[in-house]
Each structure stands twice: as C-alpha cells, then as structure tokens.
C-alpha cells in the first residue's frame, strides 16, 4: 500500500523508481518463523548494548511510570484528577527536550543520557526509602508527586538524545527490525518486573510492599546505566554538527511530512492519552479487582506485544509503517468498544473480556509504537535532527500531558452520575470509553496522509511548497 506523495519532496539528485513493489511482492520470502526478528545482521558492532539497556530500563519505568505507581498513589488517597496529573508528568516535562537539545552537540549523546539516567536512578532510591522516614499518607503522596516530577524532569532534559542517537547509529534498512528488537527486550524486562510486582503486592499491600516495588525500579535503572555506557556513541564531528545545526521553528513546522506526523500524533494521544490510567482506576475502584490481579493483567498486555513483535519486526522493513499504524488503530477501536461494553454492564462476567482487552492492547500498542518510531526516523532529516526530534516530542508530549488531565477532570465532573438506556448503563467510565472511541475515528482517517520517505540532509532540499 503506497502513501500519498508530496510535491517538492525529491531533489535533482534523487531517482524515482519506475514502479513501486506491491504489498504481495514485499511479503514474498518473509519467514513464518519468528527467528528473523532476533537477528543482528546489518546492525553496527556493539548496538546490542542498546537492547540490554532497554531491558533493564523497562524494569525501571514499568514500575515508576506504570500501573504499580498509579495503584500506590490511589492507595494513598489520590483522586482521578490527581491520577491524571500523575500520568501527565511524563509527557508534560518532555518540554525540557528543547533546552536539552542544545546540550547534545557539546557533550554527546551518551554523556547526556548517562547523567540524566543517573539522576533518575538516585531519585528512585530516595523514593523507595520514603516510607521509612514519612509516617503519614499525605506525606508519602507528596513524596510520590515530587519524586516523579524530578524523575520526569531529568528524563525530559536528557532523554531527547536517544532517538537521534539510534537514528544515526542504525541504517534505515534495518530500523524496523532494530526498533522491534529493542521493544522485545523492553517487553521481556517489563514482563519480569510486573511478575515480581504482582507477587510483592499479594493480599492487601501496605506501604512497605510498594516501597519494595520502587526499590526494584531503582535497581533496574542502576543496571541499565551499565549497558547505556557500553552503547557506541556517534563520534563523527560532521554528523554531530549536522544533527545539532539549528533550524528555525517555522521552517520545521512548514516541512510538510513533519507537520503531518505531528498532527497525527496529537490526534492519537488526545484519543488514547487516558487509557492506561483510567482502565486501572476503573478496575480497582468500580470492578473491585485487586492490585495483584491488575498487575497480572498488565503483564498479559506485555506478553501479547512481545509475541506479536517476533513476526511483525521483520515485516515492518518490508511494508510501510503507515499500514502497521492503521492496523494498530483499527484494533484500538475494538479495544475501546470492548471497554465500553464492560463499563456499560453489557458483559455479565468481565474477567475474560478484560484479559483479552489487555492482550489486544499490548499487540496494538507495541506495534503502533514501533511503526511510529520507524516513521519518525524516516521523516526527520539529518540537518537539525536533534531539534526536529525535540520539537516533535515536545509538541506531541504536551498533547499527551493535556489528555489525561482533561479526561481526569471530566471524570471527576461526571462523578457518580448513572443512567440506564435499556440494558446499557451510562456512567463516567462508559461515557469516557464512548467519547475516546469516537475521537479515534478521525485519527484513523488522517493517518492516510502520512508521508514515509527517507529525507535528504537538508529540509531546504525537501521543502514543500
């Protein structure tokens, strides 16, 4: 399936193929066995260290930015609005990537990320020890909010090094497989973390049990630092100069493939920004699922994503990223419809349905993420790459921060409202899932206009008119 072309996207030195391979031709020779996804053929020497970094980093963030910390905050008395704010911290503080982009040409990708990840890890160790020196629930909740604010501050300031780093490190022809491999390592790390956490939170977990989960997060962060230090840096001066070159913001926004990529991701996060937070709040607060069972359900999402990547990774380098993105979003429409049915009490026993929804979410989310990464790496040109990635991440992350806050305020405003339409029950969660489903439909339509062509070195050579 071909994507819409863009005038002005080619230059005098480029060549246009006489015919584009059909989808069937691209799939010819694709192995039905999953082993190709784990091959390192075509990868630079030492790049496997980046995968092990992703493995241990996932152990850390799966707890610090996932369901365990949401459950901890909810146990300490946080309402839906505060949970929305907690979920918004990570995307909101990505705005620090704009000043952080100026650090990259001077200090290099690896040095910048090492300093930020070290600061994050220290914060997690302090947060894990907070129940020892804070005796009240309000004090512990304040520690969670302050600690995660600082955690995400350093993540935003230094995390902008990662995408330009791996984009320069990994050739475009194998990036789909590389990003898939990275996610496989990440999913396995997250699965291990969630398995351990589900055991730690058995029964009616106390503050000490949540402290142990945060300690596991800190230890994962410490281990990830070792492999981050072993990942090859980009030392070529001309590459660092090109990536760090300043490009006017208006020129970046007017670059048509980049503009469309930004608009698509804004629409996507506005529709889906609250899904991970409010499904957890719904299951715990309304359906009465235990903390341990919710963590195990989150693990099912990880398993679904992990298994699917074994096949979809090699596939992504043969077909367009847009095709994978659209398939992922179509699956998410089914997921939102399923959650609406559970919240509207159409499903009498939601346990099996909820498990299936988590598994489908893992498949759709991880493949959508990998395809989006691959599309970004193709869309953003070499010249000014650091600033392109920073601007893109900030724009989309501000939308991602805005989304759960608004959803949280909406849910709090609806409150205990309940009304029946025949067999359907309308409450704050069924209303939320229905609205999010509707918002996803124009996003699917807009994805048809994404442009996926590796860009030349300067946007002046590819500027749309």
pLDDT digits (tens, 9 = 90+) for 340-391: 999 888 887 788 888 889 989 988 988 888 888 888 888 887 777 777 888 8
Looking at residue 39, what is its pLDDT? 62
Rounded-to-integer distance, Cα 239 and Cα 80, Å: 46
Spatial distance between the Cα atoms of 160 and 146, rounded to a whole number of angstroms: 22
Residue 458 CB-density burial (10 A; 0-12 exposed, 13-18 middle, 19+ buried): middle
- Domain 47-461 CATH superfamily: MFS general substrate transporter like domains (1.20.1250.20)
Query: Helices (H) and strands (E) in the chain — how many of each?
Result: 20, 2
CA dist 167 and 382 (Å) reads 9
Compute, in degrees rounded to 10, the torsion defined by CA atoms 186, 189, 190, 196.
180
Token readout for 456 is: 């030349």
Please state the domain extents for the chain.
47-461
For CA atoms 179, 39, 173, 168, the dihedral sign is positive
Low-confidence ranges of the chain (pLDDT < 50): 1-20, 25, 27-35, 236, 239, 456-465
pLDDT score at 214? 93
Distances (CA, A) of 441 to 267, 275, 322, 323, 445: 10, 16, 16, 16, 7
pLDDT at 441: 92
- Integer angstrom CA distances of residue 12 from 9, 134, 454: 10, 66, 15
Q: What is the pLDDT of residue 172?
A: 74
- For residue 201, give the 3-state DSSP assignment: coil
426: phi then psi, degrees, rounded to nearest 5: -100, 115
The C-alpha angle with vertex 397 and arms to 341 and 77, in degrees rounded to 5, equals 60
Number of neighbours of residue 402 by Cβ within 10 angstroms: 17
Question: Is-contact 258 450, C-beta < 8 A?
Answer: no
Answer whether 242's CB lies under 8 Å from 457's CB. yes
pTM of the model: 0.68
Closest CA to 404 of 288, 280, 289, 300: 280
Rounded CA gap, 373 and 261, in Å?
11
Nearest residue to 252 via CA among 463, 77, 422: 463
Beta bridge partners of 421: 424
**Which residue in the block uniquely carries the two structure tokens 């909101």?**
92
Count of CB atoms within 10 A of residue 381's CB? 24
Separation between Cα atoms, residue 36 and residue 180, nearest integer Å: 11
pLDDT confidence of residue 219: 96
Angle at 71 between CA 67 and CA 72, to 5 degrees: 120
State the Cα–Cα distance between residues 338 and 332, nearest whole angstrom. Answer: 9
User: Residue 79: what pLDDT?
Assistant: 79
Alpha helices in 42-161 (DSSP H): 48-64, 67-75, 80-92, 97-101, 104-107, 109-133, 137-159
d(C-alpha 180, C-alpha 365), whole Å: 12
Q: Up-side HSE of residue 43: CA atoms within 13 Å toward CB?
A: 23
């Amino acid at each position: 399936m071909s994507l819409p072309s863009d005038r002005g996207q080619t230059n005098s030195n480029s060549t246009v193929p006489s015919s584009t391979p059909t989808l069937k031709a691209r799939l010819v020779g694709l192995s039905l066995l999953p082993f190709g996804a784990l091959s390192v053929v075509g990868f630079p020497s030492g790049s496997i260290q980046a995968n092990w970094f992703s493995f241990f980093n996932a152990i850390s963030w799966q707890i610090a930015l996932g369901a365990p910390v949401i459950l901890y905050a909810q146990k300490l008395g946080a309402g839906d609005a505060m949970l929305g704010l907690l979920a918004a911290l990570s995307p909101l503080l990505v705005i620090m990537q704009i000043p952080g982009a100026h650090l990259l040409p001077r200090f290099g990708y690896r040095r910048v990320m090492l300093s930020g990840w070290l600061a994050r890890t220290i914060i997690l160790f302090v947060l894990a020890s907070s129940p020892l020196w804070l005796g009240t629930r309000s004090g512990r909740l304040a520690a969670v909010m302050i600690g995660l604010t600082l955690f995400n501050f350093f993540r935003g300031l230094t995390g902008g090094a990662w995408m330009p780093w791996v984009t320069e490190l990994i050739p475009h022809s194998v990036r789909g497989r590389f990003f898939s491999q990275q996610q496989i390592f990440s999913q396995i790390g997250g699965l291990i973390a969630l398995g351990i956490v589900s055991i730690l939170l058995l029964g009616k977990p106390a503050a000490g049990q949540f402290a142990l989960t945060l300690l596991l997060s800190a230890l994962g962060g410490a281990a990830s630092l070792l492999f981050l230090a072993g990942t090859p840096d980009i030392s070529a001066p001309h590459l660092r100069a090109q990536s760090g070159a300043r490009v006017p913001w208006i020129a970046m926004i007017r670059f048509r493939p980049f503009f469309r990529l930004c608009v698509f991701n804004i629409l996507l996060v506005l529709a889906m920004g609250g899904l991970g937070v409010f499904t957890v709040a719904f299951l715990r607060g309304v359906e009465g699922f235990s903390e341990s069972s919710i963590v195990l359900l989150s693990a099912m999402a990880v398993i679904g994503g992990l298994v699917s990547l074994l096949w979809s990774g090699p596939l992504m380098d043969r077909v367009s990223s847009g095709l994978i993105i659209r398939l992922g979003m179509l699956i998410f429409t089914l997921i939102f419809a399923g959650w609406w049915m559970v919240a509207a009490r159409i499903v009498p026993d939601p346990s099996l349905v909820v498990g299936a929804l988590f598994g489908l979410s893992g498949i759709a989310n991880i493949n959508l993420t990998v395809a989006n990464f691959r599309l970004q790496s193709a869309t953003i040109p070499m010249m000014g790459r650091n600033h392109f990635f920073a601007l893109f991440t900030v724009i989309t992350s501000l939308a991602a921060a805005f989304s759960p806050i608004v959803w949280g305020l909406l849910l709090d405003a609806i409150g205990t409202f309940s009304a029946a339409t025949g067999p359907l029950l309308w409450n704050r969660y069924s209303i939320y899932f229905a609205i999010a489903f509707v918002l996803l439909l124009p996003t699917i339509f807009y994805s048809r206009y994404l442009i996926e062509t590796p860009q030349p070195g300067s946007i002046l050579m590819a500027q749309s008119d």
